[in-house]
Amino acid sequence: MNKELLSPIFDFVFKYIWGDQRNSELTAALVRAILRVPESEIDQLTITDPFLKRFWRKDKQGIVDVKMTDKTGRIINIEIQARRDKHMRNRIVYYLAKMLWEQLKRGGNYGQLNRVISIVICDHTMVNDEPHYQHAYSLENEKTGDRFTDLVQIIIIELPKLPKEADGTEEWPWLQFFKCKTLEEFNMLAAKFPQIRRAVDALKEISMSDHARALADARQKAEWAQWAREEDRFAEGKEQGKEQEKMEIIKKALEKGLAIGDIADLTGYDAAAIEGFRKTWGVGG
């Protein structure tokens, strides 16, 4: 295979691998590892419509990355979030509420509600004061810890906090999959942890698609443009700090695999200078 693999944290790549019913066994394995439950508890999943229902026509449309139900009727939503969003916590709760609401029809019994679990895999830090990479939230009494209901659960996973070496947990190799960047890294991980081989094969398959690669390139350029706009706003009137921040953004763009020529076009920096930065930092390819 001559082409480097697409990043598994692109939302459309994520949906291709985990949101296809043909890969439901693979998705079930990922979910079991994250929830730390035995195979007998989640041995099959049904991938469902990711569009959340609206009560009124003008209601805000909710679209999740991958939505599924297990054999008990439990609803599980799993998403990848590559960028920080200051309203992300509100969005997670809103989507969780909608997945509860859409279960009941007029005259329905509240006892018919199935448990809803929202799993959010973040490629950034979301819980600043915690060293752990996985966080589970539920409705509990603040004083006693008594569980109010097990109807809802939120699980946040922070990829930057994942240890570089396997920590003995079932979820580590699956989460490390999202951190790999090169074909060699993916192959080494699959060789050591055969359970993720199918995920790597699926990633190789979509990476061969010219359409998918064009979409990935467009996404990278859009992300870069967004970074640049945020940087300009942040550094306005602070010229000295602006240059350093721009260097950090160029480094991020190189790490994401954005072509040097594209970075040069967007920043006005000479391509040779950017190549010099790349060699100095030891990033990109």
Length of the chain measured in residues: 285
Q: d(Cα 212, Cα 166) in Å, to the nearest integer?
A: 31
Give the pair of three-digit tokens for residue 57: 């026509």
The predicted pLDDT at position 179 comes to 95
**70 against 252, higher pLDDT:** 70
Three-state secondary-structure class, residue 79 = strand
The predicted pLDDT at position 282 comes to 78
pLDDT per residue over 13-57, tens digit each? 898 898 888 889 999 999 999 999 998 888 878 887 554 444 444
Short-list 65, 10, 63, CA closest to 220: 10
CA angle 206, 210, 216 (to 5 degrees): 70
Residue 81, judged by CB atoms within 10 A of its CB (0-12, 13-18, 19+), counts as: buried
Domain boundaries along the sequence of the chain: 11-208, 212-281
pLDDT per residue over 172-217, tens digit each? 999 999 999 999 999 999 999 999 999 999 999 988 888 777 776 7
Short-list 76, 74, 72, 73, CA closest to 31: 76
C-alpha 224, offset from chain centre: 18
Three-state secondary-structure class, residue 268 = coil
Short-list 248, 210, 213, 201, CA closest to 228: 248
Give the pair of three-digit tokens for residue 58: 């003008």
Q: d(Cα 279, Cα 285) in Å, to the nearest integer?
A: 9
The predicted pLDDT at position 222 comes to 65
Q: What is the largest CA-CA distance in the chain?
A: 68
- Predicted confidence (pLDDT) at residue 276 exceeds the cutoff of 70: yes
Specify the DSSP class assigned to residue 2: -
Average pLDDT, the chain: 83
Short-list 160, 169, 94, CA closest to 126: 160
Is the pTM higher than 0.75? The answer reads: no
Backbone dihedral region for residue 282 (phi beyond 0: left; psi -120 to 50: alpha; all else: beta) = left
